[in-house]
């Protein structure tokens, strides 16, 4: 079930990316394209993917597209992979490591400390959003994907999903936003686990 969903997300992204470079080309000949777009729309993914597509030259778009490919992976406390499942910080850590080769700290509060604070109004796709869900600061983290929405692995019994930050639950518990400077075009064995706050890797 998860693999078809990932295939759908990546297929639609490829279709939208192709559309950028073929605006004046003939209509696509692939008869499955309308079905893919319709299915994506029915799952509420099309808007998110299109928002990412609009900034496809940015490395952060790769991060968001990759994260969307893991929709439906079960929550697992301490989990850091699709095979085991993810917890919230494990999901964020895995997405950054897989996409840009950046090794973030393991815990949500450590990820907040290793990255630069930004205003909520300045959020861009790929930024981190933090919430107080356990009566302590920065106890939950997700990846902002644009349009006021974020993707995360929420809790036991749930799956990786996209939610709106405007929902009352998340709005009340919002703890802040963070941005990471290092989005290298090539994967690098970089670690922020022990970086000082004045490190050039954060801003």
d(CA 143, CA 20): 25
Q: Three-state DSSP class for 140?
A: strand
Are residues 104 and 91 in contact, defined by beta-carbon separation less than 8 angstroms? Answer: no
d(CA 156, CA 202): 31
d(CA 79, CA 91): 8
- DSSP classification of residue 99: H
d(CA 45, CA 12): 9
Active site residues: 88, 140, 152
- DSSP classification of residue 122: G
Are residues 197 and 111 in contact, defined by beta-carbon separation less than 8 angstroms? Answer: no
């Amino acid at each position: 079930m998860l693999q078809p969903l990932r295939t759908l997300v990546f297929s639609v992204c490829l279709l939208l990316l192709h559309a950028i470079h073929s605006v004046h080309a003939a209509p696509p000949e692939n008869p499955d394209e309308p079905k893919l777009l319709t299915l994506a729309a029915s799952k509420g993914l099309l808007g998110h993917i299109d928002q990412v597509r609009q900034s496809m030259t940015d490395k952060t778009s790769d991060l968001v597209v990759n994260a969307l490919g893991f929709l439906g992976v079960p929550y697992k406390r301490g989990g850091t992979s699709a095979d085991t499942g993810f917890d919230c910080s494990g999901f964020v850590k895995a997405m950054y490591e897989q996409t840009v080769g950046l090794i973030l700290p393991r815990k949500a509060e450590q990820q907040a400390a290793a990255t630069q604070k930004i205003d909520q109004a300045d959020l861009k796709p790929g930024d981190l959003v933090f919430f107080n869900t356990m009566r302590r600061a920065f106890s939950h983290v997700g990846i902002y994907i644009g349009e006021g929405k974020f993707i995360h692995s929420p809790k036991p019994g749930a799956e990786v999903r996209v939610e709106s930050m405007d929902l009352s639950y998340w709005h009340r518990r919002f703890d802040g936003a963070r941005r990471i400077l290092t989005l290298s075009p090539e994967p690098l064995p970089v670690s922020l686990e022990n970086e000082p706050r004045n490190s050039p890797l954060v801003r």
